Amino acid sequence: MQISTVGIIGAGTMGNGIAQACAVSGINVVMVDIAEAAVQKGIATVAGSLDRLIKKDKITAADRDAALARIKGSTNYEDFKGAQLIIEAATENHELKLKILRQVDALVAPGVIIASNTSSISITKLAAATSRADRFIGMHFFNPVPMMALVEIIRGLQTSDATHAAVKDLAERLGKTPITVKNAPGFVVNRILVPMINEAFFVLAEGLATPEDIDAGMKLGCNQPIGPLALADMVGLDVCLAVMEVYLSEFGDGKYRPCPLLKEYVAAGRLGRKTGKGVYTY
C-alpha cells in the first residue's frame, strides 16, 4: 500500500514535527488536536521551522508554501477520511491513548493502518484496544522530528508483514532510516540509552569523576555528541527516573535499579534544564 495521506493525532512537539516531515516529503496531512488553539499552534510551529530552513538556504519559499498547503488542521477525527495511515502522537497517557484509539478505530475504514508514537506503552497492548491488531504498529520518531534520522518501527505481536512493509516504506520516503524492533519496554534506543544515563549517575555518586569529566569522557572516548549527564538534564531527570522504574517493574531485573542519587535530585526538584538546575545549573 502506497501512503499518500497521513492523519496525525496531536499537534504537540511530536505531532507537528511528524506533520512537517510528511508535508515536505509530498505527503498530505490531517492533524487533529482537541482544541483549535492547539492545532493553530502546531501549524505555526511548522511554519516557523520551515522559515528557519529558508534562512539556511535548505528550502525555498515556494517549498514552504507547498508544504504548508499540504497540512490541514482540524479538531474532528471525522476529517481523517481519505487517510491510509493514522499516527497517534497524543499525550503519553495509557488510558487517554486507549480512549483515542477506540474512537478512531471505530471511525476509519478497516484497511487503514494505525500507528502509535508512544515512547513507553506496549504496542501489543494498544493494538488489542482496536479491531485491527494486524494493522497496528509502533512508529517511534525522535525529537526534533525534522532533524532526527531514525524511526524505530515496533511490531506488536500481531502486526502483519504488509503493515510493516507499508510503514517502513513511508519512513524511507520521509528520508528517515527505519529500524525494526520487537515490542518490549523502551524498544531499542531508550532501552540502552536510559540505563547508560543511570550508570553515569552511579559513577557520579561514587565520586569517580566530576560531572564535566564524566561527560567529556563519553563525548571524546565514545564519540557521543553530548555527555550522559548533560543529556539527562535535557531529557528531564524525572523522565529518566520514571523510565528506569518502568524497566525495573516490567523486566523484574535488579540491573534496572534507579541510582539513589538520581532519585535524590528528582526529590529535590532538580529536574534538569526545565527547572534551571539538574546535574548542572542553567
Ligand X SMILES: NC(=O)c1ccc[n+]([C@@H]2O[C@H](COP(=O)([O-])OP(=O)(O)OC[C@H]3O[C@@H](n4cnc5c(N)ncnc54)[C@H](O)[C@@H]3O)[C@@H](O)[C@H]2O)c1
Among 92, 199, 245, 250, binds ligand X (CB under 6 A): 92
From the list 64-72, 86-94, 163-171, 219-227, the region that binds ligand X by CB under 6 A is: 86-94
User: Shortest Cβ distance from residue 239 to ligand X (Å)?
Assistant: 9
φ, ψ of residue 57 to 5 degrees: the values are 65, 25
Q: What is the number of the residue whose Cβ is closest to ligand X?
A: 12
From the list 20-28, 90-98, 107-115, 257-265, the region that binds ligand X by CB under 6 A is: 90-98
Residue 245, helix vs strand vs coil: helix
Instruction: Find the distance separating the first CA and the last CA of the chain, reported in whole Å.
Output: 48
User: Shortest Cβ distance from residue 92 to ligand X (Å)?
Assistant: 4
> Is residue 185 a contact point for ligand X (CB under 6 A)?
no
How many secondary structure helices (H) and strands (E) does the chain include?
A: 11, 8
Distance CA 175, CA 36 (A): 30
User: Shortest Cβ distance from residue 187 to ligand X (Å)?
Assistant: 10
Of the candidates 16, 183, 190, 198, the residue annotated as catalytic is: 190
Contact letters for ligand X, residues 33-72 (x by CB under 6 A)? xx---x----------------------------------
Of the candidates 119, 122, 183, 198, the residue annotated as catalytic is: 119
User: Shortest Cβ distance from residue 93 to ligand X (Å)?
Assistant: 8
Q: Is 4 marked active-site?
A: no
Distance CA 33, CA 49 (A): 19
User: Shortest Cβ distance from residue 244 to ligand X (Å)?
Assistant: 16
CA-to-CA separations, 228 to 89, 206, 261, 262, in angstroms, rounded = 26, 16, 15, 13
User: Shortest Cβ distance from residue 229 to ligand X (Å)?
Assistant: 18
Distance CA 146, CA 59 (A): 13
Q: Please report, as residue ranges, which positions from 106 to 165 form the binding site for ligand X (by CB under 6 A).
A: 117-119, 140-141, 143
Residue whose C-alpha is closest to residue 1's, from 168, 179, 182, 176: 168
Q: Is 164 marked active-site?
A: no
Q: Is 131 marked active-site?
A: no
In the complex with ligand X, the residue whose CB is nearer, 140 or 155, is: 140
H/E/C letters for each residue in 168-209?
Answer: HHHHHHCCCEEEEEECCCCCCHHHHHHHHHHHHHHHHHCCCC
Residue whose C-alpha is closest to residue 17's, from 67, 76, 85: 67
Non-local CB neighbours of 149 within 8 Å, separated by 6+ positions: 175, 176, 177
Distance CA 35, CA 226 (A): 36
Q: Is 190 marked active-site?
A: yes
Of the candidates 16, 140, 183, 198, the residue annotated as catalytic is: 140
In the complex with ligand X, the residue whose CB is nearer, 75 or 158, is: 75
Residues annotated catalytic, as ranges: 119, 140, 152, 190
Give the footprint of ligand X on this chain (CB under 6 A): 9-15, 32-34, 38, 89-92, 96, 100, 117-119, 140-141, 143
